[in-house]
Amino acid sequence: MTQQTHPYSIELEGISKRFGTVQANKNIDLQVPAGTIHGIIGENGAGKSTLMSIIYGFYEADSGSISIDGQQVSIRNSQDAINVGIGMVHQHFMLVENFSVLENVILGAEGGAVLKQGMDAAREELKRLEQEYSLDIDVDAIVEDLPVGLQQRVEILKALYRGAKILILDEPTGVLTPQEADHLFRILKSLKEQGVTVILITHKLREILASTDNVSVMRQGEMVAHRETSKTDKEELAELMVGKKVRLKVNKDEAKPEQTVLSAKDLSFFDGQGVERLKKVSLDLKAGEILGIAGVSGNGQSELLNVLSGITPMASGEIQFAGQTITANAPKNAAQMRDLKMAHVPEDRHKMGLVTGFEAYEAAVLGYHDSEAYNGSVLMKRSAMLEECNERMAAWDVRPPNPHLKTANFSGGNQQKIVIAREVEQNPNVLLIGQPTRGVDIGAIENIHEQIVKLRDAGKAILLVSVELDEIMALSDRIIVMFDGAVVGEVSANEADERTLGLMMANAWNEGQGAQA
Amino acid sequence: MFETLILILDATLRVSTPLILAALAGLFSERSGIVDIGLEGKMLAGAFAAAAAAAVFGSAWIGLLFAIAASVSLALIHGFACITHRGDHIVSGVAINTIVAGLTVTLGLDWFDQGGQTPSLTGDARFTPITFPFADQLADVPVIGLIYSELLSGHNILVYLAFAMVPLTYWIVFKTRFGLRLRAVGENPHAVDTAGISVALVRYRAVIICGILCGLAGAYLSTAHNAGFLKDMSAGKGYMALAALIFGKWRPIPVLCACLLFGFLDALAVRLQGVSLPGIGEVPVQAIEVLPYVLTVLLLAGFIGKAVGPKAIGKPYVKERA
């Protein structure tokens, strides 16, 4: 916009925030030039979200100041933030799901005690916004019926409707297909052209490089670097993020697949509402390979893991495993599958992998707690459990190496190491592993990836489910794509590229199809 | 036969009134995400306060004010526990019910010395029936006359108020800014908070409205429907209202229908006392009295589909997220 008088639309000076003993933000300075897209990257726990929460008025900073267009402002709650023109698209959408798009947009900005008038005015205004920023959406649709990509657009509209000049997006692409993400970035570009300042928080380097003008890097609560995006690259940013040289590729040799150890045929599963979540899924898993299951979250991957691991019974189909035929009429539960040497690292470690109130040594035997190694005639052998836990913590570099610490108090990466160690140390023949590095920082990701490859090289069969395409592509020897409960494609890792997989994940791929989706 | 039906329907309106008021009270509270099992207690407290104040001051209207004050105070205690201190909604509600059940009788004994009852109310200390214009003259006109003079006319002000509250509630909940925020806060308080609205404030307003309506329901019991306070006179009507609320899926019009149905069964039970039905014989009153409850369970279990309440109901709102 031409009337911009101040070069920086938002300026932070010396922002600090402490939660108990944790210094979440330490003396942060940041200047975001008006009308640009500014990326903020950092590992999980680097303090990005805390910083944005301070800007949006969720938390108050212990010290420091915020200026908008050169004016120092005090932001004590979300209303203050909205008033100075800040809008935020949260990672988990802040939408009322059974409200219409229109109702969601006007919530908090209704324009009068009776809705009618405000709604009509909002309808007009939304029409204008939609045209101006090419954000097509049916304003009368109920939000829960919309795909996530559109729900995100509602969030953006919400901010624009409130007159946001600064739009903050927190990890906006986590739930999107690559195509939806591309669309989002086109929208952000057009916002920028209209003079909106966009702040993009992400841990995905690719997005930063593809869409931002400037980038700031956070590490351990501090702002460690500012770069012009055009003058930096993936390697430099990654290094700044973690503070040491990291590999973006997993080092592994060609797989040497051997005999099939697990074979699933026509697996079906219906959820509580009678919706078919798995549609005749068949797959073969060979010893010495990593089979990756790609897909946007919620397309049957979780159900597949649950059915294979025996947690939920299948509706039909059969599984051949360890010389047994498992069918709907002859099911095996999770404990029986474990006895057949199948290990399972569940997708959600808080819900299914750990009891967060347990101490580490207790969590480390979950699922194997009946094993003779841990049990005396009546009581459990505490000392044996502790000893083993100490050994594993040393071997897997779990920090802090304290078996008496509650699992809830470990960081995400260390919790995950506890779970993976527990499963892998049982020397399984098949390892099912879901989202191995969700919420895990880069250093630990590397370590976990190495362990998975090591297990494969030891001749184990590994089924990897992940919504991170980078992870699937880096680790897998073979990739299956799931969409809407069915397998929609299979490619060998060598042939896989992001675009093909992305299109398959959106079920927009036709064999032999040319360049256009 | 027609006259009997009209009389039963007439009774239905009278019996349904406290249910409607209490169910709408619950609607405001639960739409905001606050479970209110304390409808019963608030109603009983309202009934006692109304009767006590009416007995002392000789005015039903002053009694009504006291009923509202007592009920709103309890609602605020519930709010303080559930909203400010994020306590368990059920525990707080049960505590209110228990306290009120004991306290009303204790105070009644101490103040009036009549075995826990309040003195009998007469004259202005009660809400009296309002007779519509020409009701008596039209009474003899076939069909319409009976409906006008018996069914529509001759109720006290609180009955009409209860029925008027239904469209008003609908309008407030679905057509006003407060209603939008109320519904939003019960579904996703985080969305409300990020929109710059105070979650606590919306919820406090909701429980206060809940308190006012429960107070009305209580006053109706002791100063309109009856002439004084009796121990435990709410007799489970608060729970019944809660059932009607769920039965009506937290929507004003279906909730009204549920209340009327329950009221009708109640009125029917009274009518059928000692009546011998052809082929069945004498139906035990208890069998009919139990019908509303059985019906709720049966209908909820299968016939009207799942009753999905506000999503954030019963969950304390915690701003800090991990």
| Listed residue (A435, A431, A422, A434) closest to A395, CA to CA | A422
Among the partner-chain residues B176, B184, B319, the one whose CB lies closest to the CB of A107 is: B184
Average pLDDT, chain B: 89
Among the partner-chain residues A81, A82, A110, the one whose CB lies closest to the CB of B180 is: A110
**Is the model's pLDDT at B254 over the cut of 50?**
yes
Q: Specify the pLDDT at position A516.
A: 36
Q: Specify the pLDDT at position A1.
A: 43
Residue A100 DSSP class: B
Q: Are residues A79 and B197, on separate chains, in Cβ contact within 8 Å? A: yes
A98 chain-B contacts, CB cut-off 8 A: 187, 311
| Listed residue (A458, A452, A459, A455) closest to A437, CA to CA | A452
Mutation site for A-interface testing, chosen from B180, B181, B194, B197 by largest number of A Cβ within 10 Å? B194
- Rounded to 5°, the CA angle A169-A170-A172 comes to 75
Q: Are residues A94 and B178, on separate chains, in Cβ contact within 8 Å? A: no
B183 chain-A contacts, CB cut-off 8 A: 96, 99
| Listed residue (A184, A186, A165) closest to A174, CA to CA | A184
Among the partner-chain residues A56, A58, A103, the one whose CB lies closest to the CB of B180 is: A103
Residue length, chain A? 517
What angle in degrees, to the nearest 10, is found between the helix axes of B157-175 and B252-271?
150
Query: What distance in Å separates the CA atoms of residue A280 and residue B45, rounded to the nearest whole number?
Result: 60
Residues A225 and A262 reside in one and the same domain? no
Q: Give the rounded percent of residues in chain B with a pLDDT score beyond 90.
A: 61
What angle in degrees, to the nearest 10, is found between the helix axes of B177-187 and B2-31?
70
Q: Are residues A78 and B195, on separate chains, in Cβ contact within 8 Å? A: yes
Position A510 confidence tier, pLDDT thresholds 50, 70, 90:
low
Residues A152 and A267 reside in one and the same domain? no
- Say which range, A3-17, A84-98, A377-391, A470-484, has the weakest mean pLDDT: A3-17
Cβ proximity of A240 and A91 under 8 Å: no
Q: Are residues B195 and A108, on separate chains, in Cβ contact within 8 Å? A: yes
Q: Specify the pLDDT at position A513.
A: 46
Q: Specify the pLDDT at position B211.
A: 97
Q: Specify the pLDDT at position A248.
A: 54
More confident: B275 or B182: B182
Q: Specify the pLDDT at position B321.
A: 43
Query: What distance in Å separates the CA atoms of residue A477 and residue A372, rounded to the nearest whole number?
Result: 36
**Is the model's pLDDT at B319 over the cut of 80?**
no
Residues A143 and A185 reside in one and the same domain? yes
Cβ proximity of A208 and A237 under 8 Å: yes
Q: Give the rounded percent of residues in chain A with a pLDDT score beyond 70.
A: 95
| Listed residue (A166, A304, A254, A318) closest to A456, CA to CA | A254
More confident: A135 or A491: A491
Query: What distance in Å separates the CA atoms of residue A103 and residue A95, rounded to the nearest whole number?
Result: 10
| Residue A93 maps to a domain | yes
Query: Encoding tokens for residue B143?
Result: 């069909």
Among the partner-chain residues B178, B179, B187, the one whose CB lies closest to the CB of A96 is: B187
- Rounded to 5°, the CA angle A143-A114-A122 comes to 50
Q: Specify the pLDDT at position B174.
A: 95
A404/chain B closest Cα distance in angstroms? 22
Position B322 confidence tier, pLDDT thresholds 50, 70, 90:
very low
In chain B, the residue whose alpha carbon lies closest to the alpha carbon of A408 is: B322
| C-beta contacts of B176-179 below 8 A and 24+ residues apart | B176/A113, B176/A114, B176/A115, B177/A110, B177/A112, B177/A113, B177/A114, B177/A115, B177/A118, B178/A113, B178/B202, B178/B205, B179/A115
A44: Cα separation from own chain's centroid: 11
Residues in Cβ contact with B257 at an 8 Å cutoff, skipping those fewer than 6 apart: B248
Residues in Cβ contact with A364 at an 8 Å cutoff, skipping those fewer than 6 apart: A385, A388, A389, A392, A403, A418, A421, A422
Condensed to tens digits (0 to 9), the pLDDT of residues A13-31 reads 999 998 776 788 999 999 9
More confident: B2 or B238: B238
Tell me the average pLDDT across A506-515: 56
Condensed to tens digits (0 to 9), the pLDDT of residues B130-155 reads 888 888 888 788 778 888 888 888 89
Residues A316 and A207 reside in one and the same domain? no
Residues A53 and A133 reside in one and the same domain? yes
Q: Specify the pLDDT at position B302.
A: 64
The order of strands in the sheet holding A197-202 is A86-89, A166-170, A197-202, A37-42, A214-219, A222-228
A114/chain B closest Cα distance in angstroms? 4
Residues A100 and A195 reside in one and the same domain? yes
* Lookup result for tokens 């509402």: A273
- Say which range, A16-25, A247-256, B110-119, B255-264, has the weakest mean pLDDT: A247-256
Tell me the average pLDDT across A60-88: 91
Tell me the average pLDDT across B169-191: 95
Residues in Cβ contact with B113 at an 8 Å cutoff, skipping those fewer than 6 apart: none
Position A514 confidence tier, pLDDT thresholds 50, 70, 90:
very low
Query: What distance in Å separates the CA atoms of residue A56 and residue A87, rounded to the nearest whole number?
Result: 8
In chain A, the residue whose alpha carbon lies closest to the alpha carbon of B188 is: A96
Q: Are residues B187 and A88, on separate chains, in Cβ contact within 8 Å? A: no
**Is the model's pLDDT at A210 over the cut of 90?**
no
Q: Is the model's pTM score more than 0.90?
A: no
| Residue A277 maps to a domain | yes
Q: Specify the pLDDT at position B303.
A: 61
* Lookup result for tokens 């008038």: A117
Cβ proximity of B96 and B36 under 8 Å: no
Last residue in a domain, options A242, A272, A293: A242
Q: Specify the pLDDT at position B10.
A: 92
| Residue A419 maps to a domain | no
| Listed residue (A220, A215, A226, A209) closest to A243, CA to CA | A220
| Residue A491 maps to a domain | yes
Among the partner-chain residues A106, A115, A158, the one whose CB lies closest to the CB of B175 is: A115
| Residue A391 maps to a domain | no
Q: Are residues B194 and A95, on separate chains, in Cβ contact within 8 Å? A: no
Residues in Cβ contact with A251 at an 8 Å cutoff, skipping those fewer than 6 apart: A453
Highest mean pLDDT among A139-153, A236-250, B205-219: B205-219
Q: Are residues B188 and A95, on separate chains, in Cβ contact within 8 Å? A: yes
Tell me the average pLDDT across A152-178: 88
- Rounded to 5°, the CA angle A431-A429-A423 comes to 45
A106 chain-B contacts, CB cut-off 8 A: 180
Query: Encoding tokens for residue A384?
Result: 């044996």
What is residue B266's three-state secondary structure?
helix
Among the partner-chain residues B176, B192, B311, the one whose CB lies closest to the CB of A107 is: B192
Size of interface A-B (CB pairs under 8 A): 71
In chain B, the residue whose alpha carbon lies closest to the alpha carbon of A115 is: B176
Tell me the average pLDDT across A318-325: 92
Amino acid present at B196:
G
Query: Encoding tokens for residue B152?
Result: 């529509």
Q: Is A107 on the interface with B (CB under 8 A)?
A: yes
Counts of helices then strands in chain B (DSSP H, E): 14, 2
Q: Specify the pLDDT at position B295.
A: 76
Task: List Cα–Cα distances, A267 to A283, A308, B7, in angstroms.
Answer: 9, 9, 62
Beta strands (DSSP E) in A150-275 are: 166-170, 197-202, 214-219, 222-228, 260-270
**Is the model's pLDDT at A374 over the cut of 80?**
yes
Question: Which helix (H) or strand (E) is A285 found in, with range?
Answer: strand A276-286
A22/chain B closest Cα distance in angstroms? 13
A106/chain B closest Cα distance in angstroms? 9
Tell me the average pLDDT across A117-125: 90
Query: What distance in Å separates the CA atoms of residue B27 and residue B209, rounded to the nearest whole number?
Result: 10
Q: Is A117 on the interface with B (CB under 8 A)?
A: no
Residues A155 and A98 reside in one and the same domain? yes
In chain A, the residue whose alpha carbon lies closest to the alpha carbon of B187 is: A96
B128/chain A closest Cα distance in angstroms? 35
**Is the model's pLDDT at A194 over the cut of 60?**
yes
Position A45 confidence tier, pLDDT thresholds 50, 70, 90:
low
Cβ proximity of A507 and A300 under 8 Å: no
Tell me the average pLDDT across A355-359: 88
Q: Specify the pLDDT at position A2.
A: 44
Q: Specify the pLDDT at position A509.
A: 67
Tell me the average pLDDT across B104-124: 89
Residues A292 and A305 reside in one and the same domain? yes
Domain boundaries in chain B? 19-234
Condensed to tens digits (0 to 9), the pLDDT of residues A222-246 reads 899 999 999 988 778 877 876 654 5
B171/chain A closest Cα distance in angstroms? 9
Query: Encoding tokens for residue B111?
Result: 């103040």
Q: Specify the pLDDT at position B47.
A: 96
Beta-bridged to residue A71, according to DSSP, are A68
A357/chain B closest Cα distance in angstroms? 16
Q: Which domain holds residue A254?
A: 247-341+428-512
Q: For chain B, which residues lie within 8 Å of any Cβ of chain A, measuring from their own Cβ?
A: 175-181, 183-184, 187-188, 190-197, 311, 319
**Is the model's pLDDT at B316 over the cut of 80?**
yes
Last residue in a domain, options A208, A242, A276: A242
CATH number for the domain spanning A12: value is 3.40.50.300
Cβ proximity of B32 and B186 under 8 Å: yes
Q: Is A351 on the interface with B (CB under 8 A)?
A: no
Q: Are residues B184 and A78, on separate chains, in Cβ contact within 8 Å? A: no
Highest mean pLDDT among A67-81, A245-259, B19-33: B19-33
Beta strands (DSSP E) in B56-193 are: none
Residues A173 and A293 reside in one and the same domain? no
Tell me the average pLDDT across A299-313: 92
B267/chain A closest Cα distance in angstroms? 38
Amino acid present at B306:
K
| Listed residue (B3, B93, B43, B66) closest to B221, CA to CA | B43
In chain B, the residue whose alpha carbon lies closest to the alpha carbon of A59 is: B320
Q: Are residues A104 and B191, on separate chains, in Cβ contact within 8 Å? A: yes
Q: Are residues A78 and B311, on separate chains, in Cβ contact within 8 Å? A: no
Q: Are residues B176 and A113, on separate chains, in Cβ contact within 8 Å? A: yes
| Residue A111 maps to a domain | yes
B137/chain A closest Cα distance in angstroms? 43
Q: Are residues A79 and B192, on separate chains, in Cβ contact within 8 Å? A: no
Q: Specify the pLDDT at position A206.
A: 80
Residues A193 and A253 reside in one and the same domain? no
3-class SS string, B214-246: HHHHHHHHHHHHCCCCCCCCCCCHHHHHHHHHH
B184 chain-A contacts, CB cut-off 8 A: 96, 99, 103, 107
Q: Supply the DSSP string of B126-147, one letter for each residue.
A: S--PBPPTTHHHHTTSTTHHHI
Q: Give the rounded percent of residues in chain B with a pLDDT score beyond 70.
A: 97
Highest mean pLDDT among A232-241, A272-281, B242-251: B242-251
- Rounded to 5°, the CA angle A276-A486-A457 comes to 125
Number of domains in chain A: 2
Neighbours of A322 (CB within 10 A): 16
Residues A143 and A224 reside in one and the same domain? yes
Q: Are residues A107 and B191, on separate chains, in Cβ contact within 8 Å? A: yes
A90 chain-B contacts, CB cut-off 8 A: 194
| Residue A232 maps to a domain | yes
Q: Are residues B187 and A98, on separate chains, in Cβ contact within 8 Å? A: yes
Query: What distance in Å separates the CA atoms of residue B229 and residue B107, rounded to the nearest whole number?
Result: 12
Among the partner-chain residues A79, A82, A95, the one whose CB lies closest to the CB of B191 is: A95
3-class SS string, A319-383: EEECCEEEECCCCCCHHHHHHCCEEEECCCHHHHHCCCCCEHHHHCCCCCCCCHHHECCCCECHH
Query: What distance in Å separates the CA atoms of residue A369 and residue A372, rounded to the nearest whole number?
Result: 8
Q: Are residues A96 and B191, on separate chains, in Cβ contact within 8 Å? A: yes
Last residue in a domain, options A197, A221, A242: A242
Residues in Cβ contact with A186 at an 8 Å cutoff, skipping those fewer than 6 apart: A134
Q: Is A168 on the interface with B (CB under 8 A)?
A: no
Among the partner-chain residues B195, B311, B319, the one whose CB lies closest to the CB of A107 is: B195
Query: What distance in Å separates the CA atoms of residue A180 and residue A148, rounded to the nearest whole number?
Result: 9
Query: What distance in Å separates the CA atoms of residue A64 and residue A56, rounded to the nearest whole number?
Result: 15
Condensed to tens digits (0 to 9), the pLDDT of residues A402-457 reads 999 888 888 778 889 999 999 998 889 999 999 998 877 777 888 889 889 999 99
Query: What distance in Å separates the CA atoms of residue A371 and residue A210, rounded to the nearest whole number?
Result: 51
Position A515 confidence tier, pLDDT thresholds 50, 70, 90:
very low
First to last CA, chain A: 35
In chain B, the residue whose alpha carbon lies closest to the alpha carbon of A114 is: B176
Cβ proximity of A43 and A442 under 8 Å: yes
Q: Are residues A118 and B177, on separate chains, in Cβ contact within 8 Å? A: yes
Residues A128 and A234 reside in one and the same domain? yes
| Residue A311 maps to a domain | yes
Neighbours of A255 (CB within 10 A): 19
Residue A143 DSSP class: G
